[in-house]
Structure 1
């Protein structure tokens, strides 16, 4: 992936650059019935316009990083055989790339710039809990998320199993406390160990004004993530978007634009449903 080194930052990308996208599948759904939100935007400019129209201007962001041991081998095909968390090279690793690219876009949506950022799957938390990337307080913007990630990652002992439930539950807790819409961004390298409990957590999270964007880094496979995206009809709304990082940025004319577009693709419709279902009301 060119242009993403620790020495030189790429330019911002709310430029409307067009990338390849699947055909639009139009729907006219009942607002009280679950339906799959289709990826129906072709440019980042169109998504930005739709988000503005939907009123996404008071949004909180939450970040989660996967520190499971499978990261050591999940870069065999997509990261030159290196660990996905290797921070020793001159080029950003996939986690650093994703944090930087998403920060360029999502930071504009965050009203206060404070980002709760967590790790999970390390030797201390395993699949039972999460830990804050920053020892005290929240990260001040995505630049600090990236800086803190780069500082602490060499000292984190990878473990597992993979479980998103504690992170999703923490995000729901934050939403309840703040009473405002949030986007939870999870960076992870593959399948979860127990699909059922993760499915249940995603379904439960759909009762709250929370969108979940899973950026899959590494080789995959991604079968569960695709099912979490378009399956789970017991949800109040389609609250989960899966993005294959390597597939999205490889060969794209503008890798930054491509990833940001895929990550934000469902946000306008998700936010509209959140408002229509009155999930933003004080519950």
Structure 2
């Protein structure tokens, strides 16, 4: 969350970083809150992790297969993580994935900075959704990009697929006090689905959980105005 003194004008030094807590209990609640804070429209940017670690990250959660394993009889974790209504994204992923050679190292910084460039070009609030196995090897550069992105009207949601561990993702989510606002939400895909009646709704709720408060911070910090 972000908080600021009553006499806030243009001085960013009076803005205090605060972690945004998870507080919604249904998809309807968070959807209503998104509308109530004034989000009339936004665009989504999708990022997919094609690094080598995906070959080993399904030992516990995907029967030992690569997380990108494409089979006609079952959906892999990346296919499951595409939201309903984004069939074109899913189709492109299914068509392209078999042609891609996995590489590395894992670094979120390039896609975060590309998303910032899109925000600056479009002058519009965006949500960047990264589906990844969470094994970031270039931590320092990724942290720097997350902090830089907090200067812009951009929310970052990382959906973690595979076995984890997720300690670094949780640090990105709850720490980094040098940010202007808490602009990063991490969702453990398999954890969010466990023991719930509707796994898809549970994942969507977790992914959208911080959007209302993030957008309020964006408005308080006047980040949209800085693009004009």
Which among 193, 196, 199 is matched to residue 252 of structure 1? 196
Alignment partner of 2:17: what SS? coil
Question: Is contact 1:35-1:238 (8 Å) kept?
Answer: yes
Show structure 1 runs of 4+ deviating over 4 A: none
- Write the distance in 2 (CA, Å) between the matches of 1:252 and 1:199: 32
Alignment partner of 1:252: what SS? coil
Alpha-carbon deviation of 1:55? 1.2
- Write the deviation string for residues 191-233 of structure 1: whole angstroms up to 9, x where unpaired: 2112111101000000000000000000011111000000000
Residue correspondence of structure 1 range 41-120 to structure 2 within 5 A: 41-99=24-82, 102-104=83-85
- Write the distance in 2 (CA, Å) between the matches of 1:206 and 1:170: 14
Q: Look up the match of 1:213.
A: 157
Number of equivalences: 218
Question: Is contact 1:191-1:223 (8 Å) kept?
Answer: no
Alpha-carbon deviation of 1:282? 4.2
Residue correspondence of structure 1 range 129-278 to structure 2 within 5 A: 142-278=86-222
Instruction: Report the RMSD for the aligned CA atoms in angstroms.
Output: 1.3
Alpha-carbon deviation of 1:103? 3.9
Question: Cα 1:103–1:173, aligned 2, differ >3 Å: closer, same or farther?
Answer: farther
- Write the distance in 2 (CA, Å) between the matches of 1:67 and 1:51: 31
- Write the distance in 2 (CA, Å) between the matches of 1:206 and 1:233: 11
- Write the distance in 2 (CA, Å) between the matches of 1:173 and 1:28: 24
Give structure 1 stretches of 5+ with no counterpart: 1-26, 105-141
TM-score, length of structure 1 as denominator length: 0.75
Question: Cα 1:144–1:33, aligned 2, differ >3 Å: closer, same or farther?
Answer: same
Alignment partner of 2:113: what SS? helix
1:30 and 2:4 are equivalent in the alignment: yes
Higher relative contact order at CA 8 Å, sep ≥6: structure 1 or structure 2? 2
- Write the distance in 2 (CA, Å) between the matches of 1:202 and 1:254: 31
Alpha-carbon deviation of 1:28? 9.1
- Write the distance in 1 (CA, Å) between the matches of 2:19 and 2:46: 24
Bigger helix fraction = 2
TM-score, length of structure 2 as denominator length: 0.92
